């Protein structure tokens, strides 16, 4: 498979790869069912980082042009013949998913329309986004960081679990402008990715509203911590201890485990990630909402980038942006 990269182009390298493959599919040079080179093979052929090639393949899969099958390889997907189906159905499904996500974040239909128009205008003008890679040890903190930093104008945010990056450092490559991680993981991540990335360290801490809610929690009865990962559960438990909540009355459970319903119903105080709906089943979410309606105390544990770190990130983003405009 021939991939010709345009040196000095404002189009990101991963996007050039995706466009080249998409063009060969459209021209029929790659037929449905054809097997594409592996990420490693194509990286060796082009001299690029494996993470860059993986990013391109991920984009092609999102567009419905290829399919990555675990243990078998990557294949060109079959074309849809119906004008009312195929790519149109994929596009409508993608838009529905986007609108659902915007509603989850609390944006109105009008606000979603404005943001969509802005993004289209940026693409038409060839404006290159600042790409942020967020790295942390648990999904809950990553998700909250992503929500917070996505509100910064003109950035694309990608999330990576620390263990995944340590196992495969190539996942973070030359397509990220800034790599953001906590002070806890900064040294470890720096050793893994070397000088290939511009690392920024931040401090995460519970919000004042969360600390106030914990301090005002009833002093009697069991306290239940319900999370998607043990690591985030331990973060919440440390806050409870710091605020004088007796560790003997604190229990923890993970979404998806057996007995979640009885756990929710049996704990007058529940502490969860603020965006817990992303990590639980529909039934589990309803059990939590039913508990709140029944008068149980439900505390959402906001774990956010602190103000000083946020200002530092914004300064770094602006510096990257100026560099892009000067190229």
Give residue limits of the domains in the chain.
13-76, 86-127, 128-203+303-327, 208-301
86 dihedral zone (left: phi>0; alpha: psi -120 to 50; beta)? left
Count of Cβ atoms closer than 10 Å to residue 80 Cβ: 14
Return the pLDDT at 79. Answer: 52
Backbone angles phi, psi at 319, to 5 degrees: -65, -45
Range with top average pLDDT, 54-68, 98-112, 176-190:
176-190
The pLDDT-based confidence of 138 (bands split at 50, 70, 90) is very high
Whether residue 81 has pLDDT greater than 50: no
Strand partners, 88: none
The topology (CATH level 3) of 13-76 is Arc Repressor Mutant, subunit A (1.10.10)
User: Across the chain, where does the E strand assignment appear?
Assistant: 35-36, 66-69, 73-76, 130-136, 155-161, 178-182, 199-202, 204-206, 223-227, 250-254, 269-272, 297-300, 303-305
The model's pLDDT over 191-226, given as tens digits with 9 standing for 90+, comes to: 888 777 889 999 999 999 999 999 999 988 999 999
Q: Comparing 143-147, 150-154, 312-316, which segment has the lowest mean pLDDT?
A: 150-154
The half-sphere exposure of 327 on its side-chain side, counting CA atoms within 13 A, is 12
Instruction: For strands 130-136 and 155-161, give the pairing.
Output: parallel
**Span 267-279, mean pLDDT?**
94
**Span 73-78, mean pLDDT?**
84
The topology (CATH level 3) of 208-301 is Rossmann fold (3.40.50)
**What one-character-per-residue DSSP string does 55-109 give?**
HHHHHHHHTTSEEEETTTEEEEPPPP--TTSTHHHHHHHHHHHHHHHHHHTT--H
Whether residue 280 has pLDDT greater than 60: yes
- Element holding 186 (H helix, E strand): helix 183-193
Q: Which CATH class is domain 128-203+303-327?
A: alpha beta
Residue pair 291/265 in contact (Cβ under 8 Å)? The answer is yes
Return the pLDDT at 83. Answer: 38
By residue count, the chain amounts to 327
Q: For the chain, what percent of residues have pLDDT higher than 70?
A: 90
pTM value? 0.60
Question: Does 208-301 match 128-203+303-327 at the fold level?
Answer: yes
Residue pair 14/52 in contact (Cβ under 8 Å)? The answer is yes
- Element holding 38 (H helix, E strand): none
């Amino acid at each position: 498979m021939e991939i010709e990269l345009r040196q000095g182009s404002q189009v990101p390298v991963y996007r050039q790869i995706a466009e080249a493959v998409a063009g060969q599919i459209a021209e029929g040079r790659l037929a449905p069912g054809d097997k594409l080179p592996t990420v490693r093979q194509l990286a060796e052929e082009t001299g690029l980082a494996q993470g860059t090639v993986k990013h391109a393949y991920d984009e092609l899969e999102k567009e419905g042009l290829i399919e990555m099958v675990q243990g078998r390889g990557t294949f060109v997907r079959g074309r849809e013949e119906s004008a009312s189906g195929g790519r149109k159905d994929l596009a409508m499904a993608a838009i529905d998913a986007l609108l659902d996500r915007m509603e989850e974040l609390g944006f109105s239909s009008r606000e979603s329309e404005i943001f969509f128009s802005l993004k289209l205008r940026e693409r038409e003008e060839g404006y290159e986004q600042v790409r942020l890679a967020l790295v942390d040890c648990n999904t809950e903190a990553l998700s909250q960081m992503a929500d917070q930093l996505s509100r910064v104008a003109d950035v694309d945010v990608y999330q990576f679990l620390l263990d995944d990056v340590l196992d495969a450092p190539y996942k973070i490559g030359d397509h990220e402008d800034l790599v953001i991680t906590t002070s806890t993981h900064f040294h470890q991540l720096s050793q893994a990715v070397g000088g290939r990335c511009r690392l920024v360290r931040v401090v995460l801490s519970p919000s004042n509203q969360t600390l106030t809610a914990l301090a005002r929690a009833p002093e009697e009865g069991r306290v239940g911590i319900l999370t998607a990962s043990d690591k985030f559960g331990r973060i919440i438990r440390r806050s409870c201890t710091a605020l004088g909540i007796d560790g003997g009355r604190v229990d923890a459970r993970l979404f998806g485990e057996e007995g979640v319903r009885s756990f929710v119903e049996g704990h007058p105080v529940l502490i969860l990630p603020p965006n817990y709906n992303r990590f639980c089943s529909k039934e589990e979410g309803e059990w939590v909402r039913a508990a709140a309606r029944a008068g149980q105390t439900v505390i959402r544990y906001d774990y956010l980038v602190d103000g000083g770190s946020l200002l530092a990130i914004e300064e770094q983003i602006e510096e990257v942006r100026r560099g892009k405009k000067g190229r």
